Structures are given as structure tokens and as C-alpha cells.
Chain A
Amino acid sequence: MHAVLVMILQRLGLGVVTLFVVSVGIFGATELLPGDLASTLLGQSATPETLAALRTQLGLDQPAPLRYWAWATGVVQGDFGVSLATRRPIADMLAMRLGNTVFLALYAAALAVPLALILGILTALWRNSLFDRVANAGALSAISFPEFFVAYILIFILAQSGVFPSMVRLSPNMGLGDKLYVTFLPALTLTLVVTAHMMRMTRAAIINLMASPYIEMARLKGLSPLRIVLRHALPNALAPIIKVVALNLAYLITGVVVVEVVFVYPGLGQLMVDSVAKRDIAVVQAIALIFASAYVLLNLSADVLSTLTNPRMMRRK
């Protein structure tokens, strides 16, 4: 067990390093600009005086490592600085929306993960059957559809007739049931897109295993197909399946941006798109950092979890 603990600590250490590199990347991206941020923001209207003033205000007169240090220490304490467009503290703008986005992502995940795993296992079990072919063609199509297409089709079918609202209006004192109802369409959109990916990858992972000699051995021991899948394939498929789930939950992060815009959902994604349009770099950096951290953490936990399911890792020779 000691070796495993060391390895988990190593992974965590690596995760911290990755987060550091990612934050440097996100912060440092502005350094790629020809000229600097102030001249880009002011564009044609720049006069030497306004430029100088803006530079001082943005702290551009300081060297980059110092600015990064100030930014990073602020972020760690929950201070993301102020928006360039509205002059409001970014942390205040994010607080409410972060909760909303996490709610939507969890909602979609709760629907998608069990659905995808069940479908993936069934299609693998009944490989090449009609069910498998239909499920596969359906999944392939769902993957090919842009998120906004899926969203508008759902609106066209379910919202136009008034069954579900096409715009999400959240109020702070809403009950959970109401909230689930109001956010059903965006959650369903995300679910459809993510389920397709997850199902295909789960199926592939299991089919890959079913070709291995120890599965043939299990069949030659006269075991039932169900027992073979549950006892012989699944324990070995856990690691790849965990990876698949993590990868797709990470994919939700991307999907959430478009879906929030379609349904006018008050989350981080929508704020990000607005801020990109306004070129409010401070806000975009803050949100990008949050999304990227979630992404890194997801991959990290998948790594650790799949290690824990592998007896080779758990018990060395």
C-alpha cells in the first residue's frame, strides 16, 4: 500500500504542477500580443496619454512575473481582480454563475453516466445485433450534431408546444423540483451529446477486452455470458471506463458554453462568451482558469481512481 500512496502523492504533485503551468499559460497568453494589452484595447483611439494611463491602471508598467505573482496570489484567495468592461470585482460576477454551471453539469452527468454505461455494456454484449447497429448509428449521428442543433431540435419539439420552457429563468428561492424542471432542456441537450461519446467508448473498451485470451478461457470454463461480462470483463474494464467517464465529463465543460447561450442560462459559459465579445480579458482569463482547473482535476481523479482498480499497481511483485 505504501507504494500506491507514494504514487498518488506523485500524481497530486504532478496535478499541482500542471495547474501552475496552465495558469501561467492563461496569464501569459496576453504576452503573445504584438504591442501590448493597452494598445490593443484602445486600438485606433489611442493617444500617448490614454495609453500610459491604461498601462498604469492594468499594471503593465510592472514586469510580467510580478504581475503574474499578484494575479495568482489574488486568485488563490478568491480575488480575480476587476472586470475591464464593468469595473466590478470579477469574483462577485462569478459567484452565482459558477453554482449554476456546476448544477447544470452535475444534472447532465447524473443523467448521462448511468445511461451511457448501460447502453455501452448492452451494445458490447449484443455486438452486431440490430440493437447494436441502431444504437451505434444513433450515437454516431448525435456526435456529429453541433450542440446548438440538438438544442434547437429539442426546443422545436418540446418547448414550442409549451411542455418545457425554452429560456431558463432561475430565481434564488426556487425549489429543487422547479429548478430541475426549468433546466431540463439544457441538461437533456448535454446528456444526448455526452452519452453518445461515452457509450461508444465504453463499448469499444469492453469489446477490446472481450478479445483477450482470459475471456476465451472463461468461456471454455463453461461460464455464462453474464458472468463473463460482470466478473471477468468488467473488473478489467473499470480503468478504461473511468477514463472514458472523466474524459466526457471534461467534455461537458466545453458543451456547457454553447448550451448556456442557446437557453440563455445564467452560467459561466454565457458570461465567458459575452466577455470574449467585449474583449474583457480579465474575466475571460478567470473563467478559463476555472474551466481548465476543473478539467485538470477530473483527469487527475480519473488517473488515481483507475490506478486503485488495477491489481498490478496495487500489488507489486
Chain B
Amino acid sequence: MAVVIFLACAVLVSIPVSWGARRVMVAILPRNMARVARDMPLTAAFGVLVIAVYVFVALFAPLLAPFPERAVVGSQFQPWDSTHWLGTDRLGRDMLSRLIYGARNTVGIAFATTALAFLVGSVLGIWAALRGGWLDQVLSRFVDALMAIPALIFSLLLLTIFGTSVLTLILVIAAVDATRVYRIARSVAQGVVVMDYIEAARLRGEGTVYLIGREILPNALAPLVAEFGLRFCFVFLTISSLSFLGLGIQPPTADWGSMVRDNATLITFGNVTPLLPAGAIALLTVAVNFVVDWQLYRASGLKEQAG
């Protein structure tokens, strides 16, 4: 019951907050972007606001956190009080500080991983779509084979072999995700490559770099940006899940997934503290999803008008 009341309050508070955030965006953005902001639904405004807060916290974590990330500053499992607002963890480290540093570590690593996956996946995908022929066949069949193994299972297999460190984590997840990005980028680019303006550019004698940079990429960007949001959510959840399983980001680095794992016992005693990092994960994914949903809707809406 308490949870339901809490959720209801959260929704009620977030509506005026998102409305305010939208007003602020309309006011401070340059004119053409402000027009876009004015038409955004409240869910998207909420998403933008939450993402902004997370980025802010991640950037200024050392200034915002009351205690260092890894220092033991109290006894274990202290309750919430005025020095340790959210209590302390299993080893007596300050929960709030670790939560704040977690934004930097968890989100940062997920972002780096997604960016890497995107770089590799989309370049290969667009190249395959443009070249076609044997290159496309070889790459696509290879990706098909990799994708026949579920992502988490494949990641677990690779982590067993290479061991768990932040670097292997990023490389492994990026490699697994790049296959998915490749698929999307290839199909988006294939939609563009069949256009007559690509044929015209080819007949003009343009090279591959010009074709990708000037003709394909600008037209494939909108769906790829939306896909980046979705992929980020997926990577973020995967890394959090791995950390929760004890196979992801390793202690003493503060990370939300492993914070849940370390303090999970408290939940059975009716203490919500371990739910906070999990909630922090959920909130960011919800926010990104809201923004992506809006972007996808916008893209499809504009298409209808043009057609």
C-alpha cells in the first residue's frame, strides 16, 4: 500500500515539475529548438529533466557527495540520520555518497560501452548496406550467427573466458551489442541506399566516403539517434544486471547494481535503502525511454505529413 501511495505522490509531483521544465526549456533554448520543446509531451519533458539531473550529478559527483566514494565512515548498516542521510552500507560506507558516485561510474561505463558499440556497429552496418555483395553477405551471416545466442548468455560466456574487469566488461558488452546495432544500421541504411539520390550520386562518380558522410548518414541519423537511446537503456540494464550478479563492475567502485546486491538482505527487514540504487537505474531508463518514444513518434508523424 505504502508503495502505491508513494508512486501516486511521485507522479503527482512530477507533473508540475515536468511542466515547469518544459517552460524553462522554451524560455532558454534558441527559437527553432524552443518550438520543438513547446510541442513535447510532459513525459518527454520529464525525461529530458531527469537526464539533465543525472548528467549534472555525474559531472559534479565529487562536489556533491558528502563523503568519499570508498572510505569507511561509520559502522555497518547504520539507519538514516542527519550525518548519513541514507545510512551506511555493509562495510560502513556512506550510502548517499556511493549513490552519487554511482551515477558517474554506472552511467559513464554504460555510455562508453554504447558509444563503442555504435561506432563499430553503425559504420559496419552502413558500409555493408552500401557495398552489398559478398561483404554484406559475410558480415550479415556472421552477425546472424552471433545473434543466435541470447545477449546476456553470450556476455556471461565471454566474461567467464576473459575474466571480469571494467575493460573486459566494456569490450564484451560493446561487442555483443554491436551486432544488434549493425542490424539496425544496415536496415536503416538499406532504406536510404535504394533512394534515387544515392543512385544519382553513384552515377556522378562519388566515392564511398562522400556517399556515407553526405548522402546516407544525414538521412539515417534520426532513427539511429533513437536507437542509440534504446541501446543505451539496454546496455545500462545489462551492466547493472551483471553487477547485481557480481560479474560486472567490481568493488570497491561504487555502482548501483552491486549496491543492490550487497545490501539486499535489508529488504526482507522492510528497509527500502537497497531499492534506491535500483530505483535510480529504473528512473534513468524510464526517462531515456520517454524521450526516445517522443522522438520516434515525431519521426513517424513528420513522415505522415510529408507523404
Contact between A and B in the complex (any CB pair below 8 Å): yes
Chain A residues proximal to chain B, CB less than 8 Å: 18, 21-22, 25-26, 29-30, 32-33, 40, 137, 140-141, 143-149, 152-153, 155-157, 159-160, 166, 250, 253-254, 257-258, 261-262, 272-273, 275-277, 279-281, 284-285, 287-288, 291-292, 295-296, 299
Nearest CB of B to A16, in Å: 12
User: Do A281 and B150 form a contact, CB below 8 Å, given A152-B274, A157-B3?
Assistant: no
> In the complex, which residue of chain B has the Cβ closest to the Cβ of A152?
B267
> In the complex, which residue of chain B has the Cβ closest to the Cβ of A295?
B150
Residues A32 and B161 in contact, CB atoms below 8 Å apart: yes
Residues A273 and B247 in contact, CB atoms below 8 Å apart: yes
Contacts of A144 in B (CB 8 A): 233, 282, 285-286, 288-289
A-contacting residues, B147-205, CB 8 Å? 148-154, 156-163
Residues B272 and A156 in contact, CB atoms below 8 Å apart: yes
Residues A18 and B145 in contact, CB atoms below 8 Å apart: yes
Nearest CB of B to A130, in Å: 14
Greatest chain A CB density within 10 A among B145, B161, B247, B272 is at B161
A156 and B267 alpha carbons, distance in the complex (Å): 6
Residues A153 and B275 in contact, CB atoms below 8 Å apart: yes
Contacts of A258 in B (CB 8 A): 241, 244-245
- Contact residues on B (Cβ < 8 Å of other chain), bracket: 35 or more
Q: Contact string, B270-293, partner A, CB cutoff 8 A, digits 1/0?
A: 101011001101100110111001
Contacts of A291 in B (CB 8 A): 149-150, 153
Given A30-B161, A254-B151, A258-B245, 20 more A-B residue pairs with CB atoms under 8 Å apart are A18-B145, A137-B43, A140-B289, A144-B282, A146-B278, A146-B282, A147-B241, A148-B241, A149-B279, A152-B267, A152-B275, A153-B3, A160-B268, A160-B270, A273-B245, A284-B156, A284-B160, A288-B153, A288-B157, A291-B149
Point out the residue from B146, B150, B270, B281 that lies within 8 Å of A25, measured CB to CB: B146
B95 within 8 A of A: no
Chain B contact residues: over half helix, strand or loop, or mixed?
Answer: helix
User: Do A281 and B161 form a contact, CB below 8 Å, given A153-B3, A258-B244, A276-B247?
Assistant: yes
User: Do A276 and B160 form a contact, CB below 8 Å, given A144-B285, A295-B148?
Assistant: yes
A53 and B252 alpha carbons, distance in the complex (Å): 36
Contacts of A250 in B (CB 8 A): 150
Contacts of B290 in A (CB 8 A): 140
Residues B152 and A156 in contact, CB atoms below 8 Å apart: no
Nearest CB of A to B8, in Å: 13
Point out the residue from A146, A159, A296 that lies within 8 Å of B281, measured CB to CB: A146
User: Do A146 and B240 form a contact, CB below 8 Å, given A250-B150, A275-B160?
Assistant: yes
